[in-house]
Every structure is written in C-alpha cells, then in structure tokens.
Amino acid sequence: MQFWIDHETYPPEEVAIRFKYCLVSIHLFANGNGRHSRLMGDILLKALDSEHSFTWGRKSLGGR
C-alpha cells in the first residue's frame, strides 16, 4: 500500500477502499469488522489529505 501512495498508483479514495477491503478480510473481531475497517479507511483518507469522504452506503449524511 505504501508503494501505491508513494508512486500515486491509485487515487487516495481507491487506496482507502483497497485498505478497507484488506483490513476487513483479516477479521480482527468476532463482531464489528466492517465498522472498524470503514473507520480505518476514513482515517487513511484524511491522512492522505483527500477532499472526499465516503458515505459507506448511507443515503444521506444526516440520516441513518
């Protein structure tokens, strides 16, 4: 993943999604793997100074 970031192989949003996918497949927790991986994807996206954010499937930012 560091190679992708250093060489701009993918845009930051795709790096964050790929990271989320890899992280969720590890299954760190009995429950909550999706929440954890989405949170880490969001944190990575902020660290990469992306102007975008993900809704992760929510229909609106204000609702659930």
Return the pLDDT at 61. 59
* Structural domain boundaries in the chain: 8-47
Q: What is the pLDDT of residues 32-58, one digit of tens each?
A: 889 999 999 999 999 999 888 888 887
pTM: 0.79
Q: Would you state the structure tokens that stand for residue 15, as one six-digit string?
A: 């790096």
Residues 52 and 8: their CA atoms lie apart, in Å, by 16
The answer to whether residue 63 scores a pLDDT higher than 60 is no
Residues 27 and 58: their CA atoms lie apart, in Å, by 23
Return the pLDDT at 30. 86
